[in-house]
Amino acid sequence: MTPAEIKKMIVEELKKEGIVVAEEAAVGAAKALFKVLPKVFAATENKVDDLVIPLLGVVQPKVLEMLDKIDGIDDPTR
């Protein structure tokens, strides 16, 4: 499954739920999550989730790249 297909699937599901997706809101929410998740994972007693922390830095640029395509306008600042 391509990233475009994944994005389309997510957007369609959100539309079915009555949620209009705005790229700025999606990007803001994603950036906030990428800031909060490492803190949450580090604070838990479960050390297995700590293994995910370095992966977030790898995943974040790809997620932001996919979200940048919501409105169909390329924003190279993301």
**pLDDT tens digit sequence for 20-70:** 667 888 888 999 999 999 999 889 888 888 889 999 999 999 999 988 887
Question: Two tokens at 5?
Answer: 């297909």
Residue with tokens 């297995």: 48
pTM above 0.75, yes or no: no
